[in-house]
Structure 1
Amino acid sequence: MIYSQQGFVHEQSRGYVWPEEENVLEKLDNWQDLKFGVLFHWGLYSVPGIVESWSICSEDEEWIPRDSTVSYEEYKRWYRGLKDQFNPVDFDPVQWSDVMEKAGMKYAIFTTKHHDGFNMFDTKESDFSIAKGPFKNHPKADVAKFVFEAFRQKEFMVGAYFSKPDWHSQYYWWDYFATPTRNVNYKIDRHPERWENFKQFTFNQLQELMTLYGDIDILWLDGGWVAPPRQDIDMDRIVAMARTSQPDLLVVDRTIRGKYENYQTPERSVPTEQLPYPWESCIPLSSDWGWIPNATFKTPAEVIAMLIEVTAKGGNLLLGVGPTPEGIIQPEVETILGEIGDWLKINGRGIYNTRITPDYHSGNVWFTAAKDGKTIYAHYVPDNGKEIPSVIEWEGNIPGKGSKVTLLHTNKPVKWMVDGNKTRIVLPVIKNHTNLPLVFSFETL
């Protein structure tokens, strides 16, 4: 399943290396129980409602929009000048956490710094920060701190998104040269001291996040082109520091196969097949990660169908939501997420704390299994715009003889029969149903 794309999309890394630390493996297993999380992109790009960061990258790509009436350098100055306008006086992280809790989400990742280098936390390493502009005197000026606290209060796992490239830092995009691509714009072997400064700058910022912002469960590192051998930032040193303060930290060095990619992150897509290791599809609710005006959003039915497919294939779904420039979750998004949460209140048993089962897909039906393997959940996903038929059938995962098949929507047993390798379910009349997926639980043979 691949969704419409806007912006750079990370490809999925090939292969997986399991962590060796027992506490990290335990945390990873707990994370796999959660299934549904939120990723917040919020920054300078939210002020005009444009694609995050990428418009200041001078690569000639269709998805990198920029005002063609001004020069690149003029545009970059305009974009960076948005720091003097970003004043989200309605910022309400408790509202964020209330909305996401009602949506049935269980973990939250917040963008502390995107590629543009604008910091959404009170870093001592740069003045290019929400805490240094017109918002500086607000009691919640150290934005990341209050986002993390609001979600911890709801017992969410919390994660810090952090961009490894920094297009504002003179140690990465040096003004002495032009900035032709997303990469460092000087030759590291000719200017090794400048790269060492960048490595230390990155280390220092991550040290701030890992030591001054409470318990962090996930370090979600973006910008996979910053990696050995060409752009080595010494991940061994960074992770050793981070896990001194956060011993069971999950590190997600996106697309960099190895011991620091604790789970994979296919972007805007769902793998074609079931995967036997930890992964997460990150997909925005609209076409963009951040807030844009007049956005078209995925429907509750579309998100629930994604969540079911992702879960049946062994992953988690990380849904991208962009808070408004004023600092709240807009009503349209709250309504959509609320409907998803209402469905999960009834059917969440088939999603949370489940694992894969070998026969995981049959027609419109996807299967998940309880962690002990004793209970199977069959998720019927109706075709778009079509009524749910009175008889639902699937192949494989046959209920055990005499087993009770329960429709979670009513929490009552339904009539069923077996014909060869097919199970047929006869649906009763269902009151107050909105054509969203139906979930059945049963024990197999």
Structure 2
Amino acid sequence: MKLKPILPALLLFLTTATFAQQHSEQNHSNYVAPADPLVQQKLSKWQDVKFGLLMHWGTYSQWGIVESWSLCPEDEGWCERKGPHSHDWFEYKKAYEEIGKTFNPVKFNPEKWATAAKNAGMKYVVFTTKHHDGFAMFDSKYTDYKITNTPFKSNPKSNVTKEVLSAFRDKGFMTGTYFSKPDWNTPSYWWKYFPPKDRNVSYDPKKYPEQWNKFKDFTYNQIEELMSDYGSVDILWLDGGWIRPKSTIDPNISWQKSIPYDQDIDMARIAKMARSHQPGLLVVDRTVTGEFENYVTPEQQIPDHYMDIPWESCMTMGDSWSYIPKENFKSTRKLVHTLLDIVSKGGNLLLNIAPGPDGEWHEEAYQRLDEIGKWMKVNGVGIYETKPQAPYRQGKWAYTKKGTTTYAFYLAETGETIPGRLKPEGLTISPSAKISLAGDKKTLKLKDGVIEIPAKTISALGQQPAYLFVIN
């Protein structure tokens, strides 16, 4: 029986605050810097680009529901099931996995996405090649549960991952592959002999090593496909941090204490293979602190202080990671302020936009990117290839630097135009410094540490999300 679409209000069973905590509650003091010079070079390049695009896309978009999590038999808000099959987990899982029989994103146009993202000032992309449900958005030889086994298979762009990476690479983007380590479709993870109790493997890998070895090989083989058949890849972004060696579990972190088994998939073997195909590859084994977490990834949160290790906040443009019919998109002002807050503290912003079942974004997503892009064309000079400048974030100010130049961003409130007199909080400016506004070469006056802005300049600038002072 085909599951009918459900009202969007019923389908947004996502509690981002609780779920995000699992990916931010981490002891970053144990960060291990990469030793490989090629990885170091790639990491430095990645830290310079600052602004990236993440896309969560899979068959779940057809129902307009949270990505994968409704399959998980846990009593958590983001796992709640709705609809005619919700009373029976086995029926629900069967119905969910049959979505692929009608999934046909005929409006899929990755070149349009890449153009919009580039115009917004984004410089890297991370695409969900496979989420926890196990549905491969690439033509994997190791599963039939994949995009090229749907009605979309007759489309010349049916190998979606290849098309996305190619389109963005052609626009000069660094490219990344999101890959879920857990796979709730493959029988070597959720073994049918033992029905799953939660997100973890459904059996004890120590008691059933033959099953676990099958899963390790399956994971290795799918990652090797992505690393060898899809052109150059810069980032392998691995999700599902409960799949980890028992020795890496931190008993002081609440969600890690509940991991019941050693779920070691041999990351050393995977990383070695991946880098044999992609030298210098950044490996991001999220939350598993050590040599295979080249940068850390707080989720839906921004640290309250500067961090001197490589990091990236992954955040949604709207409320949901996955497509929902009616999304509540953040304002352009909020998104620009988010980027500045992150960059001034030493991080990158990876901003998620979710394609719909037809293969298209919400029109509002394009509008936000266009508005961000217009602001970035003038003010991006204070973002790209910069370093944080103390005091980083103070009051309504965010600071970066490049060489001897300091960039001071004034984060305006809604409806606010730039005041005629401003004193950057926490920043000492030399009386001999030359100060100008981005895009305007006229030198502004400085008196007792206060910058004076002429009325004509204020009028010409109008209302903006933030104003950038260039200080030399």
Would you say same fold, with TM above 0.5?
yes
Report which stretch shifted further, 424-433 or 268-277. Answer: 424-433
Residue deviations 1:165-215, cap 9 Å, x none? 000010001112221100001111221100000000000000100011110
1:327 counterpart letter in structure 2 = G
Residue 397 of structure 1 corresponds to: 427
Structure 2 CA distance for aligned equivalents of residues 414 and 115 of structure 1 = 54
How many Å apart are 1:424 and its aligned residue?
A: 3.5
1:40 counterpart letter in structure 2 = M
Given that residues 47 and 86 in structure 1 are in contact (C-alpha distance below 8 angstroms), is that contact kept between their aligned partners in structure 2?
yes
Structure 1 CA distance for aligned equivalents of residues 229 and 459 of structure 2 = 52
Residue 253 of structure 2 corresponds to: none
Q: Cα RMSD over matched residues?
A: 1.6
1:47 counterpart letter in structure 2 = Q
Q: Which runs of 5+ in 2 are unaligned?
A: 1-13, 247-261
Counterpart pick for 1:65 among 80, 99, 119: 80
How many Å apart are 1:44 and its aligned residue?
A: 1.1
Counterpart pick for 2:149 among 113, 132, 138: 132
Structure 2 CA distance for aligned equivalents of residues 7 and 81 of structure 1 = 29
Counterpart pick for 1:96 among 96, 101, 113: 113
Residue 166 of structure 1 corresponds to: 183
Structure 1 CA distance for aligned equivalents of residues 53 and 62 of structure 2 = 21
Structure 2 CA distance for aligned equivalents of residues 161 and 412 of structure 1 = 45
Q: Does 1:414 align with 2:444?
A: yes
Residue 442 of structure 1 corresponds to: 471
Residue deviations 1:286-333, cap 9 Å, x none? 111121111000111001000001000000000011012111223211
Give secondary structure in 2 for the equivalent of 1:161.
Answer: strand
1:197 counterpart letter in structure 2 = K
Report which stretch shifted further, 29-38 or 375-384. Answer: 375-384
Q: Does 1:34 align with 2:49?
A: yes
2:47 counterpart letter in structure 1 = Q
Report which stretch shifted further, 303-312 or 323-332. Answer: 323-332
Scaled by the length of structure 1, what TM-score is found?
0.95
Scaled by the length of structure 2, what TM-score is found?
0.89
- Structure 1 residues 164-203: aligned runs within 5 Å: 164-203=181-220
Structure showing the higher helix proportion among its residues? 2
How many Å apart are 1:78 and its aligned residue?
A: 1.3
- What is the number of residues matched between the two proteins? 436
Give secondary structure in 1 for the equivalent of 2:422.
Answer: strand
Structure 2 CA distance for aligned equivalents of residues 167 and 278 of structure 1 = 31
- Structure 1 residues 288-303: aligned runs within 5 Å: 288-303=320-335
Residue 21 of structure 1 corresponds to: 36
1:52 counterpart letter in structure 2 = E
Residue 60 of structure 2 corresponds to: 45
Given that residues 418 and 467 in structure 2 are in contact (C-alpha distance below 8 angstroms), is that contact kept between their aligned partners in structure 1?
no
Structure 2 CA distance for aligned equivalents of residues 268 and 354 of structure 1 = 23
How many Å apart are 1:6 and its aligned residue?
A: 6.2
Q: Does 1:222 align with 2:239?
A: yes
Give secondary structure in 1 for the equivalent of 2:79.
Answer: coil
Residue 426 of structure 1 corresponds to: 453
Given that residues 416 and 426 in structure 1 are in contact (C-alpha distance below 8 angstroms), is that contact kept between their aligned partners in structure 2?
no
Residue deviations 1:211-231, cap 9 Å, x none? 111100000000000000210
How many Å apart are 1:435 and its aligned residue?
A: 3.1
Q: Does 1:11 align with 2:23?
A: yes
